[in-house]
Amino acid sequence: MLELIIIACLNGHCREFSNLYSADDVSLLTCMMSGQTEVARWHESHGEWQIQRWRCDVAPRREVRL
């Protein structure tokens, strides 16, 4: 899994927002090339947040509990 991570702040409080993509569908290079467009789309629906930075990364494996 690949992850587009957006770091944004609201009233001095910053947090990370994550969008996950399948590595079968999106490469790390594709994520970086189209990331700015995805960040702009995210900002349209989260306009009150001030984007500080963004990055693409390999998503950490998380333990799945059933």
pLDDT-derived band at 64, boundaries 50, 70, 90: very low
Helix (H) or strand (E) segment spanning residue 36: helix 28-45
Please give the C-alpha separations between residue 33 and each of 21, 37, 38, 39, 62, in angstroms, as whole numbers: 14, 9, 10, 11, 26
Provide the pLDDT for residue 28. 86
The pLDDT tens digits for 1-46 are 889 999 999 999 999 999 888 877 888 888 899 999 999 999 999 9
Q: How confident is the model at residue 66 (pLDDT cuts 50, 70, 90)?
A: very low
Where exactly are the structural domains of the chain? 2-56
The pTM (predicted TM-score) of the whole model is 0.81
The token pair that represents 10 in the structure block: 């609201």
